[in-house]
Structure 1
């Protein structure tokens, strides 16, 4: 995991989430992070280049102020040089720049996928066609589209599979997307198939929603949900 390290003491970035107990809705307030200088982000790239073995390189979250979106081109070059698979979980122009540079896997939600495909909005029924458009336009092998409580869609050039989840009591959605991506990467790193990775990732993301605040998933919940998903899921070519 690569973190930007600031050479001068600065305020830590803070994000706020407010839960309205009457409706169980959450409202998020994302604050800007500290400015990162050119020498600082270039140092991070140098550290990445010096890593001896990297099966996967993961870029997650928004770019800090001061870091150009063109950094993805350099990270993609480093990934290719190391024969590592680049996985990106970001949005907006940064995501487009990453796709231009070439990635293995992205994890957009429906809104982000719609933006990439040049559409106003998408439903789950439209997601496969939109994802194929994105794959043809950019350089990407796998798209996992988050559907929130509806699970996720795993889309490649050869298949589209929906991973559905059982209904759970949602306490907080903070970190659910990150947990899903972590589950996918963990599975791939342990030589599981894309289908198994998508199922496990959805189990991790769903398990994270079962806990309050910033508390993430518990292994026992992940394992139980993964078993349920495996028992109920059927794959289709052309969802």
Structure 2
């Protein structure tokens, strides 16, 4: 079996469907364009981002029913190596529709089917057997999966000497900090919750992140600031990178693209300054494309060069 420096884990993947229509009118049949289908879900999107930068990874994800089979075919079409863990519940769908009359984007997400305790254990065993250099746990948890799932993944990562990158929220993220991760990527609101305050101002982000780092919750915290950019914090460093001004067409997958860019840069032994620039470049590039397509490698490279030379 091939070995991979980067493994991505998605326990609640989605078959992403996107389309266009003209005019949203209640109780009338809305005519839509031919749908586009993409493989989606946090870790799968991270693997797609890494692939667009010329890197490689193994995507591990749950797969159930006909939609799961279609998801697997779409991942394979992207030339991404994968390991699908079969589950009884059907893989969920997500739906993005753009009204061409107003350029408004409507995003609909469905909850994932319930994962049994036995299926959860199978996922954890699959991860424990891989022992990558970087392990990325990204996305929401399916119904039935315990809130300490990513904490269990963190414990596996420690035993395997893998560097764990986690991109999730709420209780699942809070529990990860009890074991510790290499890198986490909260937004400002999530960071505030992690330290027990209602909100944070920009000038408070550095100190808030360092509180978590000092307690061993993470070595690196990247705080997403949305259209303002992002900051990377370690116990000794603070790097702010503003987001480049681009024509935004969709925000779907921007956060996952950011994580993918950073993980790829880390795997290439880039400096932390380059890591956060690649993250912002890929996240911004993803907003330039419609629907669920993520970004083009050429756009990410151009934006990275701009951030480096500005």
Aligned to 1:75: 153
Aligned to 1:151: 229
Mapped partners of 1:117, 1:218: distance in 2: 36
Mapped partners of 1:22, 1:43: distance in 2: 47
Aligned to 1:33: 112
Determine which of 181, 198, 201 is the counterpart of 1:103: 181
**What is the CA-CA distance between 1:161 and the residue it aligns to?**
1.0
Aligned to 1:3: 61
Q: Which moved more, 1:128-137 or 1:204-213?
A: 128-137
Aligned residue pairs total 231
**What is the CA-CA distance between 1:116 and the residue it aligns to?**
0.7
3-state DSSP of counterpart to 1:63: coil
**What is the CA-CA distance between 1:23 and the residue it aligns to?**
7.0
Asked if residue 48 in structure 1 is aligned to residue 106 in structure 2, the reply is: no
**What is the CA-CA distance between 1:75 and the residue it aligns to?**
1.4
Instruction: From the CA coordinates, give the structure whose radius of gyration is larger.
Output: 2
Asked if residue 112 in structure 1 is aligned to residue 112 in structure 2, the reply is: no
Asked if residue 163 in structure 1 is aligned to residue 241 in structure 2, the reply is: yes
Mapped partners of 2:103, 2:185: distance in 1: 25
TM-score normalised over the length of structure 2: 0.70
3-state DSSP of counterpart to 1:210: coil
Q: Is the 8 A contact 1:89 1:108 kept in 2?
A: yes
3-state DSSP of counterpart to 1:86: strand
Asked if residue 66 in structure 1 is aligned to residue 144 in structure 2, the reply is: yes
**What is the CA-CA distance between 1:27 and the residue it aligns to?**
4.8
**What is the CA-CA distance between 1:18 and the residue it aligns to?**
4.8
Change (3 A) 1:35 1:25: same
Q: Is the 8 A contact 1:152 1:164 kept in 2?
A: yes
Aligned to 1:236: none
Asked if residue 13 in structure 1 is aligned to residue 92 in structure 2, the reply is: yes
3-state DSSP of counterpart to 2:266: helix
Q: Is the 8 A contact 1:58 1:87 kept in 2?
A: yes
Change (3 A) 1:210 1:56: same
Mapped partners of 1:71, 1:79: distance in 2: 13
- Any idea what the Cα deviations from partners look like across 1:90-147, whole Å, max 9, x if unmatched? 0000000111111010001111111112121223222111111222345211000111
Change (3 A) 1:166 1:97: same
Mapped partners of 1:100, 1:141: distance in 2: 13
Mapped partners of 2:97, 2:228: distance in 1: 23
3-state DSSP of counterpart to 2:62: coil
**Following superposition of structure 1 onto structure 2, how do residues 207-226 of structure 1 map, counting pairs within 5 Å?**
207-226=285-304
Aligned to 2:268: 190
3-state DSSP of counterpart to 1:68: coil
Change (3 A) 1:117 1:41: same
User: Which gives a bigger RCO, structure 1 or 2 (Cα 8 Å, sep 6+)?
Assistant: 2
Greater share of residues in strand: 2
Q: Which moved more, 1:30-39 or 1:7-16?
A: 7-16
Determine which of 76, 80, 92 is the counterpart of 2:170: 92
